[in-house]
A and B are shown apart, each in its own frame.
Chain A
Amino acid sequence: MLVTGIQYPVSSISLMSTPSVIIKNLSKSYGKVEAISDISLTVDKGEIFGCIGPDGAGKTTLFRILVTLLVPDNGSASVEGYDVVSDFKKIRKIVGYMPGRFSLYQDLSVEENLKFFASSFKTTIEENYYLIEDIYKQIEPFKKRLAGKLSGGMKQKLALSCALIHKPEILFLDEPTTGVDAVSRKEFWDMLKRLKEWGITIMVSTPYMDEAALCDRVALMQDGEIMSINTPAGIINAHKKPLASVRTNNMFKLVEDLLSMNDCHSAYRFGASVHFTPKSDQLKTEVLLQNLRKLGHNDIEVAPISPEIEDCFMELMTIA
C-alpha cells in the first residue's frame, strides 16, 4: 500500500462513534407503487454495506434518498449526521455517488471527464490523486480515449475515479457491477476493499447474490422491504434448514422430479447441481436416493452442504 504522507489509512483507528448512515422507517411511493416501505438500518463508519436484491427491490430509490435526490414520503434518514432533507447541501459536499447507469460524458475523454468532475467539486486531480491512483493507473494509458469508446470494465473504473476525486467521506455505488463481466466485477470488488482501508464508508447495491460475501454487512431486499440485515456469515448461520447438493445423470429432469416428491420443500438449480431442501428437519439421504432411482436417475450424488447467500435469499423470499 502506498502511503503518501499526506494521508494515512485509518482502518486501524477505531471510528465507531456514530454510524455513517441512520435510516428510520423510511417509505417512498411513486403513485400507487410502493418503492420502499418502512425500511430501517444503520451503516457503521468505514464498513462496506451491501444492499442485495433484484431489480425492483427498491435499491435505487433508497440510494437516491440517501444522496438527497429524492425526498422520502415517511421516516427519516441521515448521512454523517446530516438529515437528507434539511441538510441536503452539506451531504452533497461529502458524498461520492455512482448512479446505476454509468454517468460519464461519452464524448469527453477519460482525462477530461475526471478533470470536469474534479472541478465541479472545486478540487484538482492532483490534490487527491493518492486516493484514485490504484484505479486510475489502470486506465491512464487510455486517458486520451473518449469515455464512450471504453469497455464496460474501464468505464466502471473511470466512473469510480470520478466519484472519488473529491475525497468523499462516504461512497454510494448503485449497482456498479450490473451488466459487467465476471472478471471486471472481481477487479471492482478488489478496488473497494482497498478503498475501505482509507476509512471511506461504502454503501453498495447489487443484484448478484455472490457479491454479498464480499461485504461486511448486507441487507437482503425484495419488493421494497428488507428481508434480513446481517453479516454474510450471520445470514448463512440463520438458515436452519438442511440443504443438499444433488447431481445425477439426468440434470434436465432432476428439478422436476425432486419437486414431485412429498418431502420436497424446494429444489433449485445451482450451477452444475441442484440444491434440495426437504420439508422435514432432517435430510434423509437414503430415501432420496431410492426415490431418484425409482424415477430413473443414475450416478446419483447427494452431499449435505452449507447454504450460500443465494439459498438464504430464496428461502427468505419463500417465507415472505
Chain B
Amino acid sequence: MKGFIIKEFYHIFRDVRTMVILFGMPVVQVLIFGFAISTEIKDAEIAILDYSRDNMSLELSNKIISSDYFILSENLEDESQIEKVFQAGKVKEVIIFGDHFARNLEKEQSASIQIIADASDPNTANLLVNYTTGIIRNYMAEKMGEQGMPIEIKTEYKMLFNPELKSVFMFIPGTITVLLMLVSAMMTSISIAREKELGTMEVLLVSPLKPIQIVLGKVIPYVVLSFVNAITILLLAFFVFGMPVQGSVILLLAESLLFIIMALALGIFISTVSNSQQTAMMLSMFALMLPTILLSGFIFPIENMPEVLQWLCNLMPTKWFIIIVKDIMLKGVGLAHIWQETLIIIGMTILFIGLSIKKFKIRLE
C-alpha cells in the first residue's frame, strides 16, 4: 500500500500537465470567476418612476443619472410599466420615489425609495443596488451637512426574478465544488484507465494485491491533493476577495472530505466502465462536469429551471454540497442546519462505493 501510494505520487508529480491542472486551475478559476463577475459597472440603463416629482426627488435622480454608472433609459408613469421594461431587457434597474418625497424628508426627516433590480443576472443586480444605495447615502450626507439635521432615506430593494439572489458570491462554493469533483473523479478515473491502457493493470491484477488495495492506493493521493486544493481556494477567497468562512472551518473541511470520498467513488465507478483514458475523460466531462456546472445552481439558479430539471438537480451531489459550503461559509451555520444535505451526500457516497466495488473487475472481462 505504501509503495503504491508513493508510486502514485511519482506519477502525479512527474506529469507537468497534471500538475498545472491540479494546482494552476483552482487559482486561475477562482481569479477568473472572481474578477469576471465583479467587474465595474458602467452606463447601466435604468428607469425612474417618480410619484413625487419634487425638487429633492429630481435632484437625487439627477445625481444618480449623472454618475458614470447609470444612464436614464426612460421615465415611467406608473407601476404597471415596470414589468414591461424589465421584460424588454434593456433596463436593469428601476428606482421608485413614493409620494411627497421632499415633504416627508422635511417634515418627518424620513422618506423611502424602492429599488427594483433584474436579478436574473444576480451579480450585476447586486452591484447596481449597491451603487445606487451608495449614491443615495452620499446625497443623504450632503443634505445633513446643509440642513444640520438628521434625515433618513430608507432604501428598500427588491430583486426581481431571483428574489434571494441565489448566486451572488456563489462562485467560491461553486468553484470548490467543481474543482473537488474534477480532481477527485476525473483524475482517479483517468489514472485507473491509464493503467488499463498501458497494460500495467494486468500485472497489478495478477499480483496478490487485493482490489481494495489497488483502489485505495489510487485514491489516497487524490484525497490529499483535493484537500490541498480546497484549502488553496479558501485562502484565495479570504485574501483576494475578503470572503471569510463564517462558520466552522473544521466542519467545512470535514464536509469537503465527505464530498471528496463521494467523488472518488464516482471516479472509480467511471473507470470500471471505461477502458481508455479518452473514454474516462469523455465520461467525466459529460457525466460529471457539465451537470456539475449546469445543474448544481453554480451558474444558473435552480429556482428558474423547469420542474423536470429541478428534479434532476436533486440527483446531483454537487447541488447539496454547494448548499452545505454556502451555508457554512456565508451564513455561518452549524451541522444542525445542514444535516439533511450531509445525509444525502453520505447516502450517495455509500451508493457509489457499493457500485464501484461491485463493478471493479478482478479479471479483464
Contacts and interface: CB of A to CB of B under 8 A. Distances in A.
Interface string A125-166: 000000000000000000000100000000000000011001
A71 B204 contact: no
Which applies to chain B's interface (DSSP): helix, strand, loop or mixed? helix
A69 B363 contact: yes
Interface string A105-141: 1111000100111111110000000000000000000
Given A69-B364, A93-B208, A122-B208, A100 B3 contact: no
A121 B3 CA distance: 10
B7 A99 contact: no
Contacts of B204: 120
A146 B202 CA distance: 21
B11 interface: yes
A116 B364 contact: no
A279 B14 CA distance: 63
Given A103-B198, A105-B200, A119-B3, A71 B363 contact: yes
- The size bracket of the interface on A is 35 or more
A95 B206 CA distance: 8
Nearest to B197: A101
B363 A68 contact: yes
B189 to A, nearest CB: 18
Contacts of B14: 107-108, 146
Given A70-B363, A99-B199, A101-B198, A120 B207 contact: yes
B208 A112 contact: no
Interface string B209-239: 1000000000000000000000000000000
Interface string A161-179: 0110010000000000000
A92 interface: yes
A67 interface: yes
Interface in A70-113: 70-71, 88-89, 92-93, 95, 97-108, 112
A53 B193 CA distance: 30
Given A105-B200, A107-B11, A119-B4, A68 B206 contact: yes
B207 A121 contact: yes
Nearest to B208: A93
Interface of A: 64, 67-71, 88-89, 92-93, 95, 97-108, 112, 115-122, 146, 162-163, 166
Given A97-B203, A99-B199, A103-B203, 12 more contacts: A69-B206, A92-B207, A95-B206, A100-B199, A101-B199, A103-B202, A107-B10, A108-B11, A108-B14, A119-B4, A120-B209, A121-B207
Interface of B: 2-4, 6-7, 10-11, 14-15, 198-200, 202-209, 362-365
